Structures are given as C-alpha cells and as structure tokens.
Amino acid sequence: MAVVQLETGDHQPENGFVSPETTSPDLLTRIDNSVLPFLGGFGKYQKQLIVLTWIPALFIGFSQFSDNFLLAQPNSTCIQPLAILTNHSTHSSVSGSPKNISERPDPNYVNGTSTSNNNTLCNCSEWTFELHTGLKENVVTKWSLICDSAWKVHIAKFSLLVGSIFGYLVFGILADWFGRHPVLIISVLFMLVFGFTVAFSRNVPMFSTLRFFEGFCLAGITLSLYVLRIELCLPGWRFSMTMVASFVVLGGRLLMPGVAYLCRNWQVLQAVIICPLLLMLSYIWIFPESLRWLLATQQYGRSKWIMGHIVEKNRVNVELDPDNILAELQRSLQQKPKKTCIVKMVGTRNLWKNIVVLCVTSLTGYGIHHCFARSMMDPEAQGTTIFPDFYTHYYTMAGIAVASCIALCPAVGLMGRRGGLLLFMIITALASLLQLGLLNLLGKYSEQLKINTASTMNTHFTIGFSAIGMFSSHAVSALSIFFCAEITPTVIRGGGLGLVLASAGFGMLTEPIMELHNQKGYFLHHIIFACCTLICIICILLLPETRNQPLPETLADVENYTRPPLLPPRKPGLLHPSDSTRDYTRPMKFMVCKCFGVFL
C-alpha cells in the first residue's frame, strides 16, 4: 500500500490558513526523523514515561464504568403501603407477601420508569431494596429513586457524560495553548476535590452536579494522557502503546465488580476510585512537558532543558550529532513562541474534512453500540434481558470489548489505520442492516419458507448480529479516536482530539436518552445510525493513511498528506508492454489544439 509523503520543499497550500513562514520545514520540527533519534529514539526514559501514562488508565476505567454500580436499579419490595390503596390492593399487600415490583417488570415499567398501569404498585411509604452488584447500598436505594423519581437516575447518568463532553472541548483547547502537563495536573487536582465531594452528597441534585464536574475533570486527565502518550512514541510504537493503555482501561472495567463487592457501600466505592489519583500529584515533578509540543510551538528555551534531561537519562553521546541539532537549537533560542488555536483548522484545505469524518465515525460507533446492546433484550420476556444476572451481562459486554481490542491489533497491522477502520465500519453496517431487514423478512415469510421455529431462530440471529455489531462498533470508536490523534498536527492536537472525543460522548448519551424516554423511538434511532454507517463507509475513503509516518507538527505538514489507494498499484513488471510506451499526453494535446486552433 502506498504511504503518506511529506514534501520538503517550499509549498503553499491552495486554500490553507497557514502563514508562509511555517511552510518551510525546519530541522527542529522534523521530530520523528531527526530530534528523537538523536535523543536515543524510543529509549529507556521514554518507556518509563509511557508506563506512567498506563497506570492512571486503570483508575480511569474505574471512574468511567462506576455508573453501572452507583446507579444500578435494585429489586424493590413494598413493606408499608399507603392508606389510599384500594381494598383489593390493601388486602393483597397485608394478607399476602410484600409486593416486589422488580421481579416481574410490567410491560410499561422498564428501567425504573413507571406509568399509570403500575401507579398502584408505587403507592408505598417504605421500601426494601435488593442489589445484585455487590453493593449493599447505592444512590438509587439511598434516596429511593424508583417509580416517579426514576427519571433522576437518568439525569445523574447524563451529568457525568455531559461533563465529559464539555471537558474534552475545553481542556483540548487549553492543552494546545498552555501545554499538556498543566492540563493534566489541574485536572487531577480538581478531580480529587470533586470526586471526594461526590461521596458526601446530601441529595440527588448535589450528586448530579458534582458528577458533572467529576466528568469534566476526568475528561482532562484522559485527553492529556492520550496526547502525551502519542507524542512520546516513534511511529512504529504509537499504536501498540495506545492499545496497551486501552487494555489497562478494560482491566479496570473487569476489576470493578470485585472492588464494589469489597467496598459494599457506594460512598466507600467512590472514595476508593478517587484515592489512587493522589499518586498522580507526583507527576508535577516526575513527568515533563511534551517535548514535541514545545518544539512545534517554538518554545526552544524549555525544549533545551528537557532535551538535556533526556540525553542524561538515555546516556546519549551528544558528540554524535550529524544534523547539528544542538547548534540549530542554540540559534533558535531567541525566537518567540507561536501557538495555534483549533479555530484555524477551518481555513485548511484537508484537515477540517478529516476531523469531521472522524467525528462522525466516533459518534456513529458509540451511538449504534447502544442499539446493538438494546437488541440483546429478549422480546419475549417483556423487557428483561436474556442474561440471568447482573454479572453475566456485565462481563459479556466487557468480554466483547476485550475481543474487539484484540482483533483490532492484527487488523490495523495488516491493513493500516484507514483499511482497519473501513473494515470494521463495513462489518457494523452489515450487522445493522441484516438485523433490521433480514430478521423482519424471516418472520414475515416464515410460513412460506415452512420455518416452524421462526421465533427461536429470530432470537438467536438477533443475539448473534448484536454481538457482532457491538464487537465492530467498539473497534470503530477506538480506532477513530486514535486516527484523529495521528492526523491532527501537534500545534492543535489537543483541540482536534477533544472534538472527536466529545463526538464519542454524544454517541454515549444516546443510552440515557433512550432510557429516559422508556425506549420510545428505538427502532427509528437504530435506522438513523444504520444510515450513518453507510455514509461513513464512503467518507472513510477520503482519509489519508498514517501508518509508520511521522506525526505532523504544523498545519502546513498535515496539508501535504496524500490519500493512497486502498489496493496496491500494479508492479512495473506486470504491465502490458504497450502500456509503458503509451503516450497519455496526446489526447490532452489534441484538446488544446482544437480549442485554440493551433495544430502542433
């Protein structure tokens, strides 16, 4: 497959919002080809810093999936009915056993949302709750968020996601303007404040508000660590180091049930999730600013100090400097820093298109993921899932995510970023379309096809297509985020990555939105995202390939990325003999002659 090439001569973008003085590549901006190899490449010091970006990923996984435990719906049993109940209801509650409204959910009572058909069951002054998540008490049981108060649970889920969306957008811009390291430290400090305060919430509004700010700070930590990890690596190491971090996050997801079981109380669980972040305060001293960002923004004074520190840690012989990097750095110390805002992306020729495509793919991946997860609900069980208990459901979803990341590694290694993204998007589209169309036809024409077990077959196909769709859509979302980090230049990488992560957050919002509306409009929701997958398949073809290529540092660099063909070109030896001698300029000459009346 052809690869991306960066032109080295003076080249003015056709419509780019790039100043002419940034178009000539400088020695200090060729970081992957010159600066990092001089500093020892991907040496011991860089590997130590990469490990420091992996450790917090475990606790990020705890925080991202804590809603499954803090806001889980319990089985609710009324032990003290209200006096306004009818005689029949009162008799059944007193003479019989207490009424459990969660063991056999009413068709109009799904995910804690009640309607007029079960208002009688909700007329209760005292409840007992039974959780199946390992906790004895969570937010729902503490404040009895069932029946008419069930909508507050969905608002609480909203708060963390909406806070993350705003955090990605704000901290992405700040990371480009003030640096990755300050954003990381500030996010950690406020995460500790708001995270611990959540555990002492006095009511649901306070809990939801604090969870908003917790999500806001969590987004800053996630984004800054992701960017720092990408910018530390040489081209051959970027994807593997990122995937290791993804596996660490999934490890936190898998360990979360055990942590909840040991804590037993939601307040203790929240404190345990936040406490390890205290160790990240040491990053103030042991984790430096991104050298790549400092060089790209021409902050050569700070760059000189960090380069000296890296040389010392990696034990590099500075006398072996064929490119005279240190001399060039010394000559450039007087230059003023030049920082760039993500807004300048609008004036570029290609970059804004690439980021828009990746925003749509990440939004579609996370949005349709919920559609597939919802399809695994057994239609014959009136809203209950096919899984016998909470842990089976939880670990099935986590297992699909792990399998997706495992499959992503060889797929991207063989086909590249664009080819892998296209492959998983096609699989997602096929799973969605087959689930929407084929299964309906199977039920409609079961008599003509003489299928006696059409209902059972329909259920099995639904589960199979849902699992495949969740598998591929998770890969689409993860690869879209990584692809954006490689395509976006260093000077605005935080802002570009923040846009794609925020789009992914909007996709995640579809789950609490659908639950809040009691899954009304679910089928239309699935159709819309299925159409989006078809659009994404076409748009992915417009993206360049970044495998084994240096990261772009400036807006001018990324404008020189080329879009290679998906299929490798034919080898010269396989061409027809006449192809090599054919003159392709004759038709053009004839057209020119015909237009101007000149016969050559």
Buried b (16+ CB within 10 A) or exposed e, 93-132: beeeeebebeeebeeebbbbbbeeebebbbbbeebebebe
Least confident interval from 39-43, 491-495, 564-568: 564-568
Structure confidence by residue, pLDDT tens digits, 327-373: 888 888 888 888 888 888 888 888 999 999 999 999 999 999 888 88
Tokens 């010159």 found at: 34
DSSP string of 381-408, one letter each residue: GTT-BSSSSHHHHHHHHHHHHHHHHHHH
Counting beta carbons within 10 angstroms of the beta carbon of residue 291, is it exposed (0 to 12), middle (13 to 18) or buried (19 or more)?
A: buried
The answer to whether the beta carbons of residues 558 and 345 sit under 8 Å apart is: no
Between CA 318 and CA 325, with CA 323 as vertex, the angle to 5 degrees is 60
Query: Is 389's pLDDT higher than 90?
Result: no
The answer to whether the beta carbons of residues 15 and 347 sit under 8 Å apart is: yes
d(CA 203, CA 181): 35
pLDDT score at 110: 38
Question: What is the edge-to-edge ordering of all strands in the sheet holding 99-100?
Answer: 99-100, 75-81, 124-130
Mean predicted confidence (pLDDT) in 570-588: 44
The answer to whether the beta carbons of residues 253 and 57 sit under 8 Å apart is: no
Most confident of 192-201, 337-346, 580-589: 192-201
d(CA 273, CA 550): 37
If you average pLDDT over every residue of the chain, what do you get?
Answer: 80
Structure confidence by residue, pLDDT tens digits, 453-465: 556 666 777 888 8
The answer to whether the beta carbons of residues 37 and 314 sit under 8 Å apart is: no
Query: Is 90's pLDDT higher than 80?
Result: no
DSSP string of 253-274, one letter each residue: HHHHHHHHHHH-BHHHHHHHHH
Higher per-residue pLDDT: 145 or 567: 145
The answer to whether the beta carbons of residues 499 and 398 sit under 8 Å apart is: no
Structure confidence by residue, pLDDT tens digits, 293-336: 999 998 988 988 998 889 888 888 877 777 788 888 888 888 88
| Domain 351-566 annotated CATH 1.20.1250.20 | yes
d(CA 256, CA 208): 21
Query: Is 575's pLDDT higher than 50?
Result: no
Say yes or no: do domains 48-74+131-300 and 351-566 share a fold.
yes
Query: Is 215's pLDDT higher than 60?
Result: yes
Total residues belonging to the chain: 600
76 phi/psi in degrees, rounded to 5: -115, 130
Confidence of residue 216 (pLDDT cuts 50, 70, 90): very high
Between CA 375 and CA 382, with CA 379 as vertex, the angle to 5 degrees is 120
Structural domain spans, the chain:
48-74+131-300, 75-130, 351-566
CA atoms within 13 A on the CB side of 207: 25
Q: What is the 3-state secondary structure (H, E, C) of 336-369?
A: CCCCCCHHHHHHCCCHHHHHHHHHHHHHHHHHHH
pLDDT score at 88: 45
Query: Is 64's pLDDT higher than 70?
Result: yes
d(CA 163, CA 111): 23
Q: What is the DSSP letter of 557?
A: H
Between CA 172 and CA 179, with CA 178 as vertex, the angle to 5 degrees is 75
Query: Is 176's pLDDT higher than 90?
Result: yes
Higher per-residue pLDDT: 588 or 476: 476
Share of the chain above pLDDT 70, in %: 76
Structure confidence by residue, pLDDT tens digits, 224-267: 999 999 999 999 899 999 999 999 999 999 999 999 999 989 99
> 3-class DSSP state for residue 533?
helix
d(CA 135, CA 131): 7
Greatest alpha-carbon pair distance for the chain in Å reads 107
Higher per-residue pLDDT: 57 or 28: 57
pLDDT score at 318: 76
pLDDT score at 459: 74
Structure confidence by residue, pLDDT tens digits, 260-269: 999 989 999 9
d(CA 379, CA 439): 13
Least confident interval from 115-119, 350-354, 402-406, 485-489: 115-119
pLDDT score at 248: 95
For the CA atoms of the chain, what is the radius of gyration? Answer: 28
Q: What is the DSSP letter of 113?
A: B
Query: Is 385's pLDDT higher than 70?
Result: no
Sign of CA dihedral 150, 155, 160, 162: positive
Least confident interval from 89-103, 186-200, 529-543, 562-576: 89-103
19 phi/psi in degrees, rounded to 5: -70, 150
Structure tokens at 183: 């954003």
Query: Is 108's pLDDT higher than 50?
Result: no
Helical (H) or strand (E) element with 474: helix 454-487
Query: Is 518's pLDDT higher than 90?
Result: no
Q: What type of residue is 295?
A: L
CB atoms within 10 A of CB 8: 10
pLDDT score at 500: 95
Q: Identify the bridge partners of residue 100 per DSSP, sorted by sequence position.
A: 77
Tokens 């005292």 found at: 126
80 phi/psi in degrees, rounded to 5: -140, 85
Q: Could you please state the CATH topology (level 3) that the domain comprising 48-74+131-300 is classified under.
A: Growth Hormone; Chain: A; (1.20.1250)
